[in-house]
Amino acid sequence: MIQTPYYLIDKARLLPNMEKIARLREQSGAKALLALKCFSTWPVFDFMRDYMDGTTSSSLYELRLGAEKFGGETHGYSVGWADHEIDDAVKYADKIIFNSLGQLDRFGAKTQGIATGLRLNPQFSTSGFDLADPARPFSRLGEWDMARLEMAQGRINGVMIHYNCENDDFDLFSAQLSRIETEFGAFLKTLDWVSLGGGIHFTGAGYPLDQLADRLKAFSDAMGVQVYLEPGEAAITRSTTLEVSVLDLIDNGKKIAIVDSSIEAHMLDLLIYRETAKLPQNGTHEYQIAGKTCLAGDIFGDAKFDKPLAIGDRISIDDAAGYTMVKKNWFNGVKMPGIAVRDLDGTVKLVRDFGYEDFAAALG
């Protein structure tokens, strides 16, 4: 039995997402790139690459990882490329996407011979969090002024427009895409490709995938461009659990189970966005599930079980793939979770473990 904590990636749960992506690609003509900022766990890339076209990145290291471990197309975007990075970035990328006209002016000559793009900010988004809203006031993410965009003509052949965040509303997506067509259509028609970014929750239950495919194809035909999507959460949603064990049980007026994990160290987005983990909710025995760090608010949330918990019991925390393994850290020196993969035949293999040497090496 694998020692907790560990992330368990289940290929049988990953497969339906991959099949929906493949179906959308076939019906719409759009290409799908895995967003490495959300999920970069490369031991399952050999499984995913049969259903996707490549990767999109937000840094030089992600770009290189996509090129070396995933293959296919590699899109390299960064909010700010550095002088010492750009030559390597061009070496690994099929497309380089600049965040600003200033970066294009500075490095555009370096990208001759590969596709070059610019981030377009439509000045609206579906984000419900100011922290993650690319259209927030004074946003530094992309260009929106038409005069500045036109200054890039002849030097770019595509744009990336990232404006969705956990958007499971097809009608809202379609309406906002119509707004992009109206406000930027003349400019987009001069390009070869348009990436609509990620944040479209099209692999969720009940999402009208056929309508999305038709809408993307209509946009592609009207603009005369190759459409790209950059699924992150949509690619890996519900595929992975964080497996933890109960270390202690406390009753201070509320029953609390302390586990061998931490939201700050292992599921950081729960803390950042003040969200609750997807915990078991079966039964009448209620417990608050809490992490083992010294942070007072290190709490996964409330759970229900069909029998009282005991020290040593294992708990599975669902939907633990996105923005977890890419953000895990060594806060309090708590052991990082291992990474395990359950194959389609049910076999579970530990593909990565972390120990004291990794902790020490990260700090000096």
Whichever domain contains 254, its CATH number is: 2.40.37.10
Residues 23 and 170 in one domain: yes
User: What confidence score (pLDDT) does residue 266 get?
Assistant: 98
Rounded-to-integer distance, Cα 35 and Cα 230, Å: 5
* Pair (21, 112) in one structural domain: yes
Looking at the fold, whether 218 and 249 belong to one and the same domain comes out as no
Pair 162, 245 in one domain: no
Question: Of 123, 301, 125, 272, which is closest to residue 198 (Cα–Cα)?
Answer: 125
Is residue 276 domain-resident?
yes
| Of 235, 252, 276, the domain-final residue | 235
SS3 state of residue 97 = strand
Say if residue 197 is in the same domain as residue 165: yes
Would you say 195 and 31 are in contact if contact means Cβ atoms under 8 Å apart?
no
Q: Which of 188, 204, 235 is the last residue of a domain?
A: 235
pLDDT score at 128 = 83
Domain boundary among 235, 266, 293: 235
Q: Which residues contact 178 (CB under 8 A, 6 or more apart)?
A: none
**228 in a domain, yes or no?**
yes
- Output the domain CATH number for residue 222: 3.20.20.10
Q: Does residue 3 lie in a domain region?
A: no
Same domain, 52 and 191: yes
Q: Does a structural domain hold residue 1?
A: no
Structural domain range at position 334:
240-320+328-362
Domain check: are 188 and 333 in the same one? no
Which string of DSSP letters, residue by residue, matches 124-184? ----S-GGG-TTSTT--SSB--HHHHHTTBTTBSEEE----SSB--HHHHHHHHHHHHHHH
Whether residue 25 is found in the same domain as residue 157: yes
Q: Do residues 56 and 173 share a domain? A: yes
Tell me the two tokens of residue 10.
Answer: 């289940």
Our CA dihedral for 231, 237, 239, 243, rounded to 10 degrees, sits at 130
DSSP 274: T
149 within some domain = yes
Residue 171 labelled as part of a binding site: no
Given this model, what pLDDT does residue 136 score? Answer: 95
Q: What is the rounded distance in angstroms from the CA atom of residue 260 to the CA atom of residue 177?
A: 45
The reply to whether 314 and 214 lie within a common domain is: no
Token pair 């990794």: residue? 358
Both 227 and 267 in one domain: the answer is no
Q: Would you state the pLDDT for residue 68?
A: 98
Write the CA distances from 127 to 100, 124, 193, integer angstroms: 22, 9, 24
pLDDT tens over the chain, length 364 residues: 999 999 999 999 999 999 999 999 999 999 999 999 999 999 999 999 999 999 999 999 999 999 999 999 999 999 999 999 999 999 999 999 999 999 999 999 999 889 999 999 999 999 888 899 999 999 999 999 999 999 999 999 999 999 999 999 999 999 999 999 999 999 999 999 999 999 999 999 999 999 999 999 999 999 999 999 999 999 999 999 999 999 999 999 999 999 999 999 999 999 999 999 999 999 999 999 999 999 999 999 999 999 999 999 999 999 999 999 999 999 999 999 999 999 999 999 999 999 999 999 999 9
